Every structure is written in structure tokens, then in C-alpha cells.
Structure 1
Amino acid sequence: MPDTPTAPPAPLTLSVASADGHQAELSLWRGSSARPGLLWLPALGVPARKYRHFATALAERGCAVALHEWRGHESSNRRAGRRSDWGYAELLGDIAASRTALAQAGHATRWLIGGHSLGAQLAALALTQAPQDYAGYIIVGSGQPWWRGFPGVHKLGLLAAIAGFRSLGALCGHFPGDRIGFGGREARGVMRDWARSAWSGDYRPQRVTADLEHALRQLTQPALALSLASDSYAPRGSLQHLLAKLPQLRLSQIELGDAAFAGGKAGHFDWMRDPLPVVRPLMDWIDRLEG
């Protein structure tokens, strides 16, 4: 299908309310076609607004996009602290609340779910909880953070992070990612769940009673995995470990090289400034999905 973008309408702002009183805003770009919409989950510590260029480029091509806001950031009414803690269990509840808000808005009848980095991991976990709610799954620049999936010296760095991040959370009452340059200000529980998955290679977050590892193996949706050649946060082994947990997905996999990007680097965050090399194969995949 030719790449003929047209100016999309201005985004809507939807209110999202979780069962425990958490509130945040969901930005929705309405599509101009009958394609399924995309519920998009950001990377760890990244505000939803950082994906506006990505969302706009998709909406220009007729795809509705909703940008989820993580608990603890920007439009969220919570901030991580010693008396305000949460983990993956609460983040999964927030994702379900965003999906409910989209259903109530009534714009698109079908939705895909996807994300960047931690967002793609939690998108897969959310998919296990409501597989009937999503027509497909999209990964960009992500992988499971098991330390054995990382090359060479990066293994040592990840092992140090597993121990250090938990200690920082206990000392500060929250994880000060905004100060150390990894993620943002995060809840201790989020980083405990991250560290557990990075150490064990499995998803067994606290306060989640379902067997997520078993549920991941049952998913059969169509899926697209876009990897980035210079992504040190999600190297090839990390992505393959994530995909190995999802053996029944109908998977398409594409690696984007440095030459695809105007800045000359296919890095973990670089694509957010130049999203078209990601948007084009994503839209091609959606069009094939519809065909």
C-alpha cells in the first residue's frame, strides 16, 4: 500500500481510572481507516508524550494509536515513594483500565497491543490476561532482561544492576532512575519485579497469582518483532529469550540496521526521534494482517 500520509485529527485525552484509585490520561489519535488501533506501552521511565512523533506518523497513515501513561509519571496521580509503592501487578491493572477506557470511547472495534522495551514485555503479560481483547502483538526494541541473554561484559553490568537497583530502592524508598540515568523515578516494587525477571529469566512478579510463563506459551496471536541493530539494551539474545516464551505466536521478525535511520544509528532510543523506519514496516504488517 503506498505511503501517503494525511494530517490526522488532534488527539483526544481520555481519563483512565484503575480499581485502586490510580488515575492517568490516555492520549488517543483517531485513525481514518478501518484498521485495528494500537495500544502502545512506553519504555521504563519514559513519559507517553515522548512517543507523540511515532503516534502521529501512524495516525497519518490511518492507524488509531493510544499512548498509555505509566503509573508514577506525568499525568499519573501517583509518585513513587516510601509510602507509595507498586509493582508489575498494579501496572497490569492499569493497562486493563486503559483498554476499558478505549472500549468506552468506542472509536475502534479491534485493538493491537505493543510496546517499547519494558512496554513490550508488559504488553505480552497483559495479553495473557485478556487475549480476546487484542488482535495482535507488536514488539519494538525489546527483549527479556535475563542476564544470560546479554553478550560479554554486559552480563557483569546486568548482574551489578540486579543487586544495585534493589539496594537503591530500599535506601531511597523509591528507585532514583532519574538521577542515575536508567529509567525514571520508579517504585521499589517495579524494580524488584524487574530484578527478579533479570535474574531468573522468568516472569513471576509479586501479587500475580496466574502462571504467566504457562500463559505466554498459549498465546497464538499474529505478532511483529522489530529489533534495532545497535540496541545495547535489547540485544539479539535478549529478544530471542522473550520470543522463546511465545512459541505459538504467528511471528514476523525484522531487524532494522543503522543505515535505515537518518542519524545513522538504530539504537534503543534513537528511533523515537526518527520513527518512520519503524512505522513503515509496522504499517506494512498491519496491512498484511488485514489482507
Structure 2
Amino acid sequence: MHQDPSAPHVVIVPAMGVPSPYYRTLAAALDAIGWTSCTMAARGIDRDTQAPSRGHDWGYSELVEAVADHVFKVRTQHPETPIVLLGHSLGGQVSLGYLLDGGAADGLVLAGASEPWFWHYRARSWGIWALAASVPLISALYGYWPRWGFGGPQPRTLMREWARFVRRRRFPYPSGPLPVGRLHVPTFVLQVEGDMLSVPRSARALARVVRDDDVTWWDYRLADAPDDARIDHLAWAKAPAPAVAALQDWWARERSEVTAG
């Protein structure tokens, strides 16, 4: 996979509604620093996957299972290579679900990932609540969440689980309230300045699952974007150089601590 045994393999878990090719620039930036990576298929979005429909449905548990299967394959083929999960938005929730379900990784990146409980969003809270409240009705009407909806198309079970997370603060899988300080894994939280979907309060609420002393926070500021690139909840992955440099520094510190210990 690569010559440097300390260089990780990054498993990119996509955001809701984002096709896997969107992360090619990020993957190339990781490759440029000597890391390897792969992007998991965006089920129902990528061309080689079956679209959601009334007869074809899935939820968070199936996405967590897909991460588990993928990590198992990498571990089997490259047992000495560290694995870092990079979960973007919904992918961060899925990555945490995998770890809370007994999975293991050597590092975790939560990029624009959050607990989307509506009350975190202050002035926009009731608009987000109304969006979540519309999910059961619309998904029942169509049999799935349609393309014109937020993040669509998506399967009805996944969207209903997401909507309960928004309205009731119930983590989809493993289902229930988020535990505090449950996970002991080096974690890098990437927040984009001005991100309207992953606001600081919601990002902190999700990251509390990891022990405080395992969490490194990093803000991608608008002024740091290369060549005046536009960055937001999604677009940072198209201008990833500052984030990848910060990730490289974080990983070097983490590995030096492991070696010193």
C-alpha cells in the first residue's frame, strides 16, 4: 500500500447526497503527502449503486455495516497499516456508529459532522424542525426521500432515522442517546468557518462521544482557503490543502505520543 509503515490509509465516508467522485481532489491531496485513501460508495447516489425506491430501502445500520466490511478488508490485506476514518457530515455520524458498535480504527476525522438536533441552530431551529417533521409524510408518499429534497434521493428508513435525530436527539445506530466520553480514539474535528449545517454547538455535541483529551479541534478559516477558493460545508473538500496539512501535523503528533508511550 505504501512504504512508510506509519502512514495511514484513510477511509472517506461521504456526506449525505454527495457522490464519491466529489472527493477525488481530497484523495489526491492525501496521496501527495504519502498517505493512501479510498472513498466508500455513496449508496443510492453513485451511478453503480441502486437508487432508493419503495422496494429498495436501507438505514444507518446498513451504512455502518458497509464501513465494518470495508475496514475488515483493509485490515486483512494490510494488517500493519493504520486506518483513519474520515467521516464527512453524515459520514461522521456513520463512522461514530461503527465505533460505538464495537468497531476499531486508529484515528477518526469528523469533518463538518454534527449532532443535528434542531435546538442547536438557534434562529433556524424551527425551520430545521419543520424539515425533519416533513420526512415521514413525504417518504411515505413517494416510498423514499425524493431527489428534490434535502440531500436526496435517500431511502425512507435512513431519512426517518435522521429526522428523529433532528427532532428527538436520538442517535440512529446504535439507537439511543449519545454516550459521553465512550470512545478512546485520536480524533481530529474539522470545522469550516461559517458552516451553516455543522455549527460549533452541534459539532461539540457529536464529538463529546470521544474522550476530551483525545480530541483535536481545527478550524478551516475562509481567509486560509487557497487561491480565494470558496469553502463551505461541502466545498472545503475541493480545496483541501490546508486541511490535509493540518491532518498531517495531527497524525505526526499522535504517532510521536504513541512511540513515546
TM-score normalised by the chain length of structure 2: 0.89
The CA distance in 2 between the partners of 1:264 and 1:66, in whole Å, is 24
Q: Give the secondary structure class of the aligned counterpart of 1:278.
A: helix
Contact in 2 for aligned 1:223/1:249 (Cα 8 Å):
no
Question: Deviation of residue 255 (structure 1)?
Answer: 1.3
The CA distance in 2 between the partners of 1:90 and 1:212, in whole Å, is 20
Choose the corresponding residue for 2:140, options 153, 160, 170: 170
| Gap change, CA 1:48 and 1:31, over 3 Å in 2 | farther
Partner of 1:241: 205
Q: Which amino acid aligns with 1:175?
A: W
Choose the corresponding residue for 1:135, options 103, 106, 117: 106
Partner of 1:23: none
Matched, 1:285 2:250: yes
| Gap change, CA 1:204 and 1:119, over 3 Å in 2 | closer
What's the CA shift string for 1:238-286, capped at 9, x where partnerless?
1111123334561110112110113354411121221112111011111
Choose the corresponding residue for 2:61, options 77, 80, 89: 89
Question: Deviation of residue 108 (structure 1)?
Answer: 5.4
Contact in 1 for aligned 2:139/2:145 (Cα 8 Å):
yes
Choose the corresponding residue for 1:202, options 159, 164, 170: 170
Q: Give the secondary structure class of the aligned counterpart of 2:181.
A: helix
Partner of 2:259: none
Contact in 1 for aligned 2:170/2:176 (Cα 8 Å):
no
Q: Which amino acid aligns with 1:135?
A: D
What's the CA shift string for 1:118-172, capped at 9, x where partnerless?
11111111112234x31111111121101111131x1122111111122221111
Q: Give the secondary structure class of the aligned counterpart of 2:148.
A: helix
| Gap change, CA 1:99 and 1:89, over 3 Å in 2 | same
Question: Deviation of residue 76 (structure 1)?
Answer: 4.8
What's the CA shift string for 1:169-217, capped at 9, x where partnerless?
11111111x323x213110001011001111223144xx5x76734x63
Contact in 1 for aligned 2:229/2:239 (Cα 8 Å):
no
The CA distance in 1 between the partners of 2:48 and 2:68, in whole Å, is 15
Q: Which amino acid aligns with 1:218?
A: R
The CA distance in 2 between the partners of 1:75 and 1:288, in whole Å, is 39
Matched, 1:189 2:153: no
Contact in 2 for aligned 1:39/1:65 (Cα 8 Å):
yes
Higher helix share: 2
| Gap change, CA 1:221 and 1:249, over 3 Å in 2 | farther
Q: Which amino acid aligns with 2:254?
A: L
Partner of 1:110: 82
Contact in 2 for aligned 1:220/1:248 (Cα 8 Å):
no
Unpaired stretches in structure 2, ≥5 consecutive residues: 257-261
184-193 or 266-275: which moved more? 266-275
Choose the corresponding residue for 2:126, options 156, 179, 204: 156
Q: Give the secondary structure class of the aligned counterpart of 1:179.
A: coil
Contact in 1 for aligned 2:193/2:221 (Cα 8 Å):
yes
RMSD of aligned alpha carbons: 2.0
Q: Give the secondary structure class of the aligned counterpart of 1:150.
A: helix
Query: Where do residues 191-270 of structure 1 align in structure 2 (5 Å cutoff)?
Result: 191-205=159-173, 208=174, 213-214=178-179, 217-248=181-212, 250-261=214-225, 262-263=227-228, 265-270=230-235
Paired residue total: 254
The CA distance in 1 between the partners of 2:40 and 2:108, in whole Å, is 15
Q: Which amino acid aligns with 1:223?
A: T
The CA distance in 2 between the partners of 1:199 and 1:212, in whole Å, is 12
Contact in 2 for aligned 1:42/1:118 (Cα 8 Å):
yes
Contact in 1 for aligned 2:2/2:34 (Cα 8 Å):
yes
Partner of 1:62: 34
The CA distance in 2 between the partners of 1:258 and 1:65, in whole Å, is 26
Moved over 6 A (4+): none
TM-score normalised by the chain length of structure 1: 0.81
| Gap change, CA 1:235 and 1:128, over 3 Å in 2 | same
